A and B are shown apart, each in its own frame.
Chain A
Amino acid sequence: DAKTTQPPSMDCAEGRAANLPCNHSTISGNEYVYWYRQIHSQGPQYIIHGLKNNETNEMASLIITEDRKSSTLILPHATLRDTAVYYCIVRVGSGGGADGLTFGKGTHLIIQP
C-alpha cells in the first residue's frame, strides 16, 4: 500500500466547508483513495472512496487531482458532530485480497462553534 501524508490537525468553523488534504504521491494505478473517520471512542467509519474521478455522497465529496498524487475530502457544511480523526488511505481495490489495510495517524478535525 502507498503511504499517505496528512496534517495532524485542522480547525474549521461550524457551518463552513471543511477541506481535508491528503498527499499520496506514490499511489499506483490500481490503488483507490479511501477516507474514514473515527469519532471518539468508536470504531472508524467509512466515508467515501474513489479511483480517479471526483466522487460525492451524502456525507462528503472527494476531489482527486488529475495526476492522482493528492486528494481533498470536503465536508460541505461542517457541524460539531464532524469533530473526529479523519484517515486517508490508499489500497488496491481489486480482488486478490492478500494485502493489509494500513492507517496512518490521520487529521484531527475540530469544528469550532
Chain B
Amino acid sequence: DVKVTQSSRYLVKRTGEKVFLECVQDMDHENMFWYRQDPGLGLRLIYFSYDVKMKEKGDIPEGYSVSREKKERFSLILESASTNQTSMYLCASLNRALGGTEAFFGQGTRLTVV
C-alpha cells in the first residue's frame, strides 16, 4: 500500500512564525505536490517537485517555499505565517511512469494561524 504521510493532522501557529509542513511517501515516487484547499475554491496547487532538489511553482506559490532534499520527503515552508494562510494543506505523490498512473494523497494538515 502506498503511503503518503503528513506530519500533523492539526496545527495552530502564530502570525509571523516560520512553519514547516512535512510530507513523506514510501513508494519511491518522483513527483510530489502541495495543495491548499479552501471552501468554494477547490484544490489549488502551490508547488510541485519532479525530482530531488527540483521544484516548480504551481498556481498560488506566493508566501510559500518548498524543499526536496530527499526523494521521499517534500516540505512546505511558510516563511512568515499569516492569517490568510489558514487552510487545509494536502500533499500528494505520483509515479512518473509511462501510461498514466494515479496520484496518492495524504490525509491533510489543517493549519490555523492566529
Given A100-B56, A102-B45, A102-B59, A43:B94 Cβ within 8 A: no
Residue B30 at the A interface, CB < 8 A?
Answer: yes
For residue A96, give the distance in angstroms from its CB to the closest CB of chain B: 7
Q: SS class of chain A's interface: helix, strand, loop or mixed? A: loop
We find that the number of chain A residues with CB closer than 8 angstroms to chain B is 27
Q: SS class of chain B's interface: helix, strand, loop or mixed? A: strand
Which residues of chain A come closer than 8 Å to B40, judged between CB atoms?
A: 105
Interface window among B11-19, B66-74, B77-85, B98-106: B98-106
Q: Decide: A45 and B105 in contact? CB cutoff 8 A.
A: yes
A105 to B41, CA, bound (A): 6
Q: Decide: B42 and A105 in contact? CB cutoff 8 A.
A: yes
Q: Decide: B42 and A97 in contact? CB cutoff 8 A.
A: no
For residue A5, give the distance in angstroms from its CB to the closest CB of chain B: 13
A103 to B33, CA, bound (A): 12
Which residues of chain A come closer than 8 Å to B104, judged between CB atoms?
A: 46
A22 to B100, CA, bound (A): 19
